A = this chain, B = another copy of it.
Amino acid sequence: MSLLPPQILNVIEEFQKLPGIGPKSAERLTFYLLRSQKASPESLGDALQNLRNELKYCNACQMVTLTETCQICADPARDHATILVVEDPLEVVAFEKTSYRGVYHVLHGVLSPIDGMGPEQLKLRELIARMDAGGIKEVIIATNPDVEGDATASYIRSQIGEKARVTRLAHGLPMGADIEFADQVTLREALEGRRNL
């Protein structure tokens, strides 16, 4: 029998389901919420209860939105013939800080059999439907450069076939990187992708 009341154990258990939060961190967060002046379990609880309220996914790109069509897809000034495919909404936020002016498609995950993520769990059918509707010239795949991201990119490549040009983000050295500490895969990609100066 535990010394701690069940409602405390329950919060500890729920926190432990989150990535990067182990038993000790979960306990620490729970007791912090119980005695903090800044945070409260009720306001975090409220925010979480409301998270999916009224939340919609854009009927074109699947970005989180409050309207049927997100503000990017609804913007006639954007290049609707170019689709940048990303894993999740935060990556749209990141690319919006660049000069990219095309539109997006949010997969909401990557292929990962261990986590039960197959093609049906991703917003892939919606991407193919957009391709079939026509007018798409290029699909830029921007999944993360890791095993799942690479597998997802290959899968999308095979699904799109000849319907559009399919490209992938360049791999290479990130700005500010130290070549000495770069891993060999990155160095090989940087060499293979070298460009004229």
- Distance in angstroms from A148 CB to nearest chain B CB is 14
* Segment at the B interface, from A42-50, A168-176, A188-196: A42-50
The reply to whether A55 and B7 contact each other, CB–CB distance below 8 Å, is yes
The interface size of chain A toward B, counting residues with CB under 8 Å, comes to 62
The reply to whether A18 and B29 contact each other, CB–CB distance below 8 Å, is yes
Contact string, A141-183, partner B, CB cutoff 8 A, digits 1/0? Answer: 0000000000000000000000000000000000000000000
The reply to whether B33 and A51 contact each other, CB–CB distance below 8 Å, is yes
A25-B20 contact, Cβ under 8 Å, with A7-B55, A48-B11, A66-B5: yes
Please tell me how many copies of the chain the complex holds. 2
Bound complex: CA A7 to CA B51 (Å): 5
The reply to whether A36 and B64 contact each other, CB–CB distance below 8 Å, is no
The reply to whether A53 and B7 contact each other, CB–CB distance below 8 Å, is yes
Bound complex: CA A11 to CA B14 (Å): 16
A34 CB contact (under 8 Å) in B13, B50, B52: B52
The reply to whether B14 and A51 contact each other, CB–CB distance below 8 Å, is no
| A125 CB within 8 Å of chain B | no
Apart from A5-B55, A48-B48, 13 more pairs, CB < 8 Å: A3-B71, A4-B89, A5-B54, A7-B50, A7-B51, A7-B52, A7-B54, A10-B47, A10-B51, A14-B43, A27-B90, A37-B115, A41-B49
